[in-house]
Structures are given as structure tokens and as C-alpha cells.
Amino acid sequence: MNSEPTGIEADRARGIVTISWADGHQSSYTASQLRWACPCAVCHGEWGRPGVLAGLKALEPEEQQLTDLLAVGPYAVTPVWASGHSSGIYSFEYLRTLCSCEQCRLNPGNPPSATSDRH
């Protein structure tokens, strides 16, 4: 498993985050994809309780507008959303499991973790 990034690019205008990994792989995420995957306790729930995202079908545009991407130590990033929400800490390992490119879907290098939630 290689979840070490060598480069992160956040294109706020287009709402696309691109991560280059140490093994040469590249992943692109749309802002809304990342927003729906927010792992914070409010969005995702905790201790078996569902989070608010589980009860939503759509998000307000400002919830999906990326205003910033902050580094959290050497192992994670936190997106800041136009709504002010910024409590999701996305570890690189988690982000790698979110990669939805054809290669990762067909040959998942990382088994989906128990915490990943498919909509």
C-alpha cells in the first residue's frame, strides 16, 4: 500500500483536487465527491449513529464549493468549504481509497476500509 503523495493540486475554480502518489499514480477528485466523503463525525456519524449526509439527497452549492485545502500534519488534508465547514480530516490513506479511476476500481490496491461508505 502506497498512500504517500508527492504532489497535491487544488483547482478551486474548477473544483478539482489532483493528487500525485509516490508510486506514480494520479487521482483526481471533484469537490462534490470529496464533500460527500467527509469523514467528520457530523457528516459521517460516529459510534454507529448516521451522520447528516446519510439523510441528504443533495447538498447546497456552497457546501460543495472548495475554498481552501489545508495540510494537517504530514499525513492528511482538510478541505475548507464555502459554507464554513472544515472539520473533515482526510488522511492520504483514505483519499487513496476514494480514487475512482478505472484502474483502482478494477484492481483495488487497497481493500475498501470498513469506514468507507458507498452512496
Cβ proximity to Zn ion: between 71 and 101 the closer is: 101
**Which of 2, 104, 109, 110 lies at the binding interface for Zn ion (CB under 5 A)?**
104
Angle at 26 between CA 60 and CA 67, to 5 degrees: 30
Least distance in angstroms from the C-beta of 75 to Zn ion: 18
Is residue 101 exposed (0-12), middle (13-18) or buried (19+ Cβ within 10 Å)?
exposed
DSSP code for 107: S
One-letter amino acid at 26 equals Q
Least distance in angstroms from the C-beta of 42 to Zn ion: 5
82 contributes a contact to Zn ion by CB under 5 A: no
95 contributes a contact to Zn ion by CB under 5 A: no
**Which of 1, 70, 72, 101 lies at the binding interface for Zn ion (CB under 5 A)?**
101
CA distances from 99 to 55, 62, 83 (A): 24, 23, 25
88 contributes a contact to Zn ion by CB under 5 A: yes
> What character string, x for contact with Zn ion (CB under 5 A) and - otherwise, covers 35-74?
---x-x--x-------------------------------
Please, what sign has the CA dihedral across residues 119, 115, 100, 102?
negative
Least distance in angstroms from the C-beta of 14 to Zn ion: 19
